[in-house]
Amino acid sequence: MPVFKLREIAEKINGKLFGDGEIIIKDAAKIESAGPGDITFLANLRYKNELIRTNASAVIVSEKMEVDVPIPHILVDDAYYRFLQVFLMFYPRKEIAEPGIHPTAVIHPSVQIGEHVSIGPNVVIGKNCIIGDRTKILANCVIMNEVQIGAECLIYPLVSVREECIIGNRVIIHNGAVIGSDGFGFAQHGGIFHKIPQIGRVIVEDDVEIGANCTIDRATMGETIIRKGVKLDNLVHIAHNVEVGESTVMAAQAGISGSTKIGHHVMIGGQVGTVGHITIGNYAQIGAQSGVSKSVPDNETVFGYPARPIMKTKRIEAVLNQLPDLYKKIRVMEKELNILKNTALDNSSS
């Protein structure tokens, strides 16, 4: 493993160094487990007390934090991101697959394959597909007819990309994801659900990452669109004709119903569910396990079931927590009212 002087690290991440720049740094570690020779980071004030206890030789700190740092440190604009850069200095990304086509791959003669492409064992690629330069398609993937995949993509094992879908550049798709599965569309007639043909496609733009076992349905007509820079956690479901705006992130098990339009830079927590045909505004945030039953404005933070503005939800929860005590008070008041009523009746009869 490489080693670096602290000043070399500061230069690499464009930070301001405080302390001995000749200290030798051998590894990067979390603040609670770092030891001598390690560099760590502080990006959240919840962990500021760890600065006193840490055994790290140095720490990267966000310049916006007003904390006393008792050890050599580097002030940066974004400690979390800069620590990632340092981490990659010690643990550079390894090459997953060498260029070449495995002899067990089944590739239609009409497929156009770019330069330095890797295609793994048992991959199946249908007719008239296009695979961009330096893309890696690992074992047991299925790429159906008329699919376009851009340059420098990484498609992990057991991914399926259905017919006519378009994948942009530098897209990462993790194990078991399905791109372009049929949307959930049925017409009920005579007590029977009849399948509506799903003839649209999915478009995934550049720099998207799709987690393991995600499913993105093709449009009934037209397109399901995942815009540039979107990040989907594992087990996310995107229904037909949904549009997800740029740089939106969704945590695991979120489910977005059909024809929902999601703005850019939206944050959606785990196990969120939405109804269909609504709009979620730009920079909106939706708390985990929320049920979104109506459109959400730009910059709004909602939470709960049903999802409401977060401060309103907190007030409702505060009242709900008081219900047992309120119930007891009401019972006492009922008893007191009954006593007063009986007393009044006794006085009137006398």
Q: Which positions are catalytic? A: 240
Q: How far apart are CA 98 and CA 136, in angstroms?
A: 9
Under 8 Å between Cβ of 41 and 61: yes
**Dist. CA 343–CA 309, nearest whole Å:** 48
As given in the structure block, the two tokens for residue 191 are 């007590």
Q: How far is Cα 131 from Cα 272, in angstroms, rounded to an integer?
A: 34
Full strand arrangement of the beta sheet holding 58-62: 16-18, 73-76, 58-62, 38-42, 27-28
What CA–CA distance (Å, rounded) separates 157 from 44?
A: 36
Strand partners for 194: 187
Q: Alpha-carbon torsion 203, 266, 256, 294, what sign?
A: negative
DSSP state of 296: B
Residue 219: DSSP 8-state:
P
Length reported for the chain: 350
Contacts of 275 (CB under 8 A, 6+ apart): 257, 260, 292, 293, 294
